[in-house]
Structure 1
């Protein structure tokens, strides 16, 4: 849920922007005219606390993933290094957070903190690779289906519907059983189930764009269909593609964690958040070592929530009509309050 105070602050910022345009004055109009659309989008995102906090969380996770070898070197613990003497109690159970193991250890005496940052590497690699693959395939299929129409559209739409109707988890289990679990297999499985929704969104946008005047003008000049799709139509699809991509990344992270938790993703001893949760569930280990569940779950929740909130903020900033309407309403209320105050003062 969006913070009401953050929403109110965002609306006030937009209202100020509208008021600057609405108030006559050459200086204000020149200042607004000098700002590019990209600068306006950045200004809206910068004034949105939710977007800034989400971006900070994502940046922190990326830095932690990139600095995983440095973290392991500073602490002196490898991601798969087992500390049977110091990392386990005399009963063979994991050691809780302490000065030597900041986030505790797992059932084999491995440092949870080091494995957590190395798990961030796997999650981000899978998420970005799968998102890029799904966006590329989905954009191409949706673009061709929506622009070509006819039997091409029929066949590609049937392929989209068939893909969406497949049970994801059962199909993933079958595919992994055939080729074996690995990092590459995980990316392929996510891409196979992620491109179809993107293709449907792109196809719907292309259907509304193919009859526009600029497309007809390009046809009259003798441009080929591929050139029109690449030069004229595709740039107008970047906004929905970008927004959908930011929302697809957390889905890929969760799906990879699910496959790894079930033993169908990245195999142990490679550190992933799903594998760490799987270890915690072995023999109800989480009952005596709750940190094995708390820290990987918190990392998953923080990353997925941050990407979802950032995607929503980017969508609002790129298509700010709803926010502008709210800003106009606030501006009208402020002006009405000022007039009422002036009438009261004059009375």
Structure 2
């Protein structure tokens, strides 16, 4: 493990003090991790995997191996204990498997068939198509949050730089900011960077830029309530820890779950924490779509009309108050399926 960390750090061109600063720990600890005289905590392993772009599973296996060897490696009963532990771990894993429902499994299969078809016709992609669909996404995402601009007005503001009479400055900024946030997640997609706190804060900063500059890219310091919802977000002093757990969950599960399930989970978990004073919905949907784009899917564009919005809110409410995410994951999967079908129809396939 020590060589994994050192090699990755040097490959990134980071000094030990720079890595220590990013981790928020003393520089001497990094040297001890690399020499093998000190073991990082599990949370530090997750952060190291993200910062140094080491495969999380590879680093975690190395960490657990050294932990096991340190604890029982010299004991005469070590092998026997490992055999018994392996049987128990397999039993627990078998009985704790979160199996997907038949309806969700069927839907994900249909989605992957559509994606495979799209992959074979990527040569028909064009800037014009992407521009049109991204404009629609900005329009719908803002409409969910109460923005009253039409699709045409949104286009005029973003692409022509016009001011729409009778529309507030906030509505204009929401359109411009959201389009820039889409450009930002596309850049992240191209870089194939892992989702970390800095990126989510940057997305939120773009969403609220010029609207709430003092809150843009910062976690809330006050308690909030969600209108019309029975869910109460965590107290402000818990937000930082909840977000830390959020990224740990992502690193732990990003290679285990179907990308559509992962994207839906990351959306629901973020909006449930509600870490920001404003802009949580837009940021959560952008995080969801960043994950989808990174895995080769298309933007899942949740519509802002009344019926779609109510279905969206109802599925979220069920996930947040009844600890049942099935409806929400199904909702997102259905939106992604429809988005893929529309994309294929546009390119004539």
TM-score scaled by structure 2?
0.21
Higher relative contact order (CA 8 A, sep 6+): 1
